[in-house]
A and B are shown apart, each in its own frame.
Chain A
Amino acid sequence: MAPTAVSNKLKATHRKQFQELQEAGEKGERERTMTLHRLFPLRLRQTIAQVRLLHGSGCGHQLEEVAMEPELRKETSVFRTQVNDPACQSERHLGQYYTLPTSHLHTIFPHGLPARYQQQVKTFNEGCVMVRQPALELISYLKAADYSKPAVRYLLYGLKGSGKTMSLCHTIHYCSTQGWLVLHIPDAHLWVKNCKELLPSSYHTSRFDQPIEASNWLRNFRTTNERFLSKIKLRQRYTWTKRESTEKGSPLGELVDMGVSRVKSSSDVVGAVLKELRLQAAETEESEGFRLAVAIDGVNSLWGRTTIKKEDKSPVAPEELTLIHNLRKMIDNNWCGGAVIATLSQTGSLYSPSSAYLPKELLGEEGFDSMDPFIPVPVSNYSEKEFESCYLYYLDRHWLQHPHSKTDEGKKEIIFLSNRNPSVLERLCAFL
């Protein structure tokens, strides 16, 4: 009894809504689209499509409903794509948003996403990433690369706010879904500035340790690569103190746990982890090898200057920091079975002019020589299609509240004021 009553009520509301839609459609295309977006939020549209199919000849609008179905689907998919797997995405999906599954968000990107993007994810209750040309290019290179040869280095560069970090995250998502081991350093600039604690290294007298940063990173590394921790076995014995050591053959997880708990030696643990991974990535697929992706954001900090000072107020060079030293060894292409994907960043960099964005300017002589040869991947501002997509996405999420921003003139104003730069656009739309 009750179910039929409910379904009758549903029928009545749907009929009313369809009537409204028809009337709006008579007024004009634009009215129909607006009404569509107002009446049918995304999920409801999909359920309505199913419900309509179930209805018999009860409501006389059946034919029209069926005719409207493909149009409805078209409306929703102009800026969104259902293909959520980066491996399956192609040029067809350029400019469209795909959703990051929530589980992946927590595991793969505990620390990787830009801060503003994380806020956006929290606000919109979903993490949507735009499929853009640089990321697709990178993924195609990764697919086509030969992993028995030394690691290839890719460098994403571009103007400020053009989407380098997001492209990097997209690539990392691909690597994760393909089962690679991802070594993600979210912002290398954080390791060369504002260091609260600087300990002289126990391993090497002239170097300095950063326990807090190292332990933080190890914790996030553990979250990202849970499944590898038990599989990878250490090849060497590591002695930390007179009494503590990690035996050969013990799983990597033990080492990482030790690094997280014993904060003092965490930098050396990081070094050990990197070394082990570097050696073991070279193995082939058959003998339980894995592919290693080293993703570094803000790689130009490795060769720049630091703002950390020693006790006698003299500045610390990057080489004197253990973390940086080990990271540089990772970037050298003397290991096989993986790739190094790096991003240049001027935003957090020290002592570099704000107009610099090219590799030569930001890396400096030393950095360029170390990175050379690399594959540069330029990242530019949104194209017209990408901008359209972003604009529609914000409209869909009701992010653009100001009534003028929904008009054509408002859109032109937004284009002018942001010049289609993704970060500027995001900040602009935040208060609209």
Chain B
Amino acid sequence: MAASTGRTVGSILLKCGTRCGSLNKTSYNFTRQVLSRQLCVSSALHRKNLAAAGPEKFSEEFIKKQVEEYNIGKRHLANIMGEDPETFTQQDIDRSIAYLFPSGLFDKRARPLMKHPDEIFPKQQAVQWGADGRPFHFLFYTGKQSYYSLMHDTVAKVLAAEKQQVLLLSEGPVPQDTKPISLVGSRWLLKEELEELLVETISDHDYARFIQLMERLLSLPNCLSEKDFVQRYRKQLEIQSSKQQVAPLQYDENGVAYSTADGRRKTATCTVLLRDCGSGSISINGRDYLHYFPVLQDREQLMFPFHFLDMLGRFDGQCTVGGGGRSSQAGALRLAISRAMLSFLSEGQVESMRQAGLLTPDPRVKERKKPGQEGARRKFTWKKR
């Protein structure tokens, strides 16, 4: 359908007698993108504009073919791995690809992947007008039809709610116990997410106006009926603390409770064994922590988890640490100690530790040195001549 439309458009242009050289390769693919007014230009100019053409445009047929290939490939992969093609999930696919094509690349996005084409190819708008050239949507000529139609619908709902409110008030001053829509645990979609939803670029001002309108809708008392509509534009936030896995406490032969944990920071790794002895002595790599960390700052880092939970003299620690420097070893130990202490704590304390940042591994690593520069950010000395 789109293909024929495209061809028709092209033929119309041809019929118009405009001189056209070899058309752009992409237009040959019968794009389902909104066709910009096609200027028939020579191939030389086409080549220059390729870089500035923007993201690639894929046709519907192309996408359909990709989906078919993906499904067939999925079954092939299941056969290769010796599993049942019917119950082969995306997780299994990821696992198999990671096994068959092991990659040591640092960036996860650079590694080989096999996903459904919908997730790979960006969503594009279908052709917005019919055979007669008339656009389907009445707001097409605004330029941002999805956005303005959304605003239009929302305003309609607002007006309807206000009208209902006036009606109810006129009936009698009956107190309304309509509960407002609960907004806890969710947030408004971000501008990027809204753009993705509408398949359209919007400006910051547009986004602000949209949020303003939604808030106005929510402020009206009878908005419970629009709950689904509103929830479509809100994203649920997961409760972070439920993600924490707390290992159960172990007991050694004397009945003393102990727990182990690992920690990492930059290139330093460490393991910690905490015992609920009551002596408050910590040994690192067989040496006393006072001698291993002569600097006060490192000992303060070690002290932080204990001091935060008021358990300073309670635990006895045996740690092994390697790699990294003085500061990163201290940071790794702090993380490992916090993780080891989780099994001794209650839920509320775990949550407060998480909020204090004791359980977050520090993601900062040394940035790569780039060619043409002296360091990661430092450029070579600029010489005027």
The CA of A409 and the CA of B312, in the complex, are separated in Å by 9
The reply to whether the CB of A365 lies closer than 8 angstroms to some CB of chain B is: no
Please tell me which stretch of A25-33, A234-242, A304-312, A417-425 contacts chain B, meaning at least 4 of its Cβ atoms lie within 8 angstroms of it: A417-425
List the B residue with the shortest CB-CB distance to A427: B296
Task: Choose from B291, B306, B310 the contact partner of A416 (Cβ within 8 Å).
Answer: B306
| Known pairs A355-B291, A416-B280, A419-B290; A409 contacts B303 (CB<8 A) | no
Q: Which one, A355, A417, A424, contacts B303 given CB within 8 A?
A: A417
For the complex, is A92 an interface residue (Cβ under 8 Å from B)?
no
A279 within 8 A of B: no
With an 8 A cutoff between CB atoms, is A226 at the interface? no
**A159-B291, A355-B287, A421-B290 are contacts. A416–B312 as well, Cβ < 8 Å?**
yes
**A409-B310 in contact given A415-B280, A419-B288 (Cβ < 8 Å):** yes
> A129–B214 Cα gap in the complex (Å)?
75
* Chain B 275-289: CB-based contact to A (< 8 A → 1; otherwise 0): 000001100000111
Interface residues of B in 287-306 (CB under 8 A from A): 287-291, 296, 299-300, 303, 306
Task: Indicate if the CB atoms of A417 and B299 lie closer than 8 Å.
Answer: yes
- Complex alpha-carbon distance, A419 and B300, angstroms: 12
Contact A416 B303 (CB under 8 A): yes
Tier of interface size on chain B: 10 to 19
Query: Nearest chain B CB to A60's CB is how many angstroms away?
Result: 46
Contact B289 A419 (CB under 8 A): yes
A254 to B366 alpha-carbon distance, docked (Å): 69
**Shortest CB distance A252–B (Å):** 45
Distance A419 CA – B287 CA, assembled complex (angstroms): 13
- B291-A417 in contact (CB<8A): no
Answer whether residue A243 sits at the interface, using C-beta atoms and an 8 A cutoff.
no
Separation of A413 and B280 alpha carbons in the complex (Å): 11
CA of A417 to CA of B313, assembled, Å: 11
**A418: which B residues are within 8 A, CB to CB?**
290
- Find the residue from B280, B287, B310 having the highest chain A CB count within 10 A: B280
What size tier do the contact residues of chain A reach? 10 to 19
State which of B281, B287, B296 has its C-beta within 8 Å of the C-beta of A417: B296
Indicate whether A428 reaches chain B with its CB closer than 8 angstroms: yes
Q: Which of B281, B287, B290, B300 contacts A424 (CB 8 A)?
A: B290
0/1 per residue, A346-364, Cβ < 8 Å to B?
A: 0000000001000000000
B137, CB-defined interface residue at 8 Å = no
Chain B residues with CB under 8 Å of A409's CB are 307, 310, 312
Most chain B CB atoms below 10 A, which of A415, A416, A417, A424 = A416
* Residues on B with beta carbons closer than 8 Å to the beta carbon of A424: 290
Closest to B311 in A: A412
B281 proximity list for chain A (CB < 8 A): 419
Cβ distance B185 to chain A, nearest Cβ, rounded Å: 36
A159 to B290, CA, bound (A): 11
Residues of B within 8 A of A419 (CB): 281, 288-290
Tell me the residues in window 169-216 of chain B with beta carbons closer than 8 Å to chain A beta carbons: none
Interchain CA distance A418-B300 in the complex, whole Å: 10
Instruction: Encode A262-297 as 1/0 by CB contact (under 8 A) with B.
Output: 000000000000000000000000000000000000
CB distance from A265 to the nearest CB of B (A): 43
Q: Assuming A409-B307, A415-B312, A418-B290, what are 17 further A-B pairs, CB within 8 angstroms?
A: A409-B310, A409-B312, A412-B312, A413-B303, A413-B312, A415-B280, A415-B313, A416-B299, A416-B303, A416-B306, A416-B307, A416-B313, A417-B296, A417-B300, A419-B281, A419-B288, A419-B290
Residues of A within 8 A of B (CB): 159-160, 355, 409, 412-413, 415-419, 421, 424, 428
Q: 13 A-B contacts, Cβ less than 8 Å apart?
A: A159-B288, A159-B291, A355-B291, A409-B307, A413-B307, A415-B280, A415-B313, A416-B280, A417-B299, A417-B300, A417-B303, A419-B288, A421-B290
List the 10 shortest-distance A-B pairs measured between CB atoms, nearest first: A419-B290, A412-B312, A416-B303, A417-B299, A416-B312, A421-B290, A412-B313, A413-B307, A417-B303, A424-B290
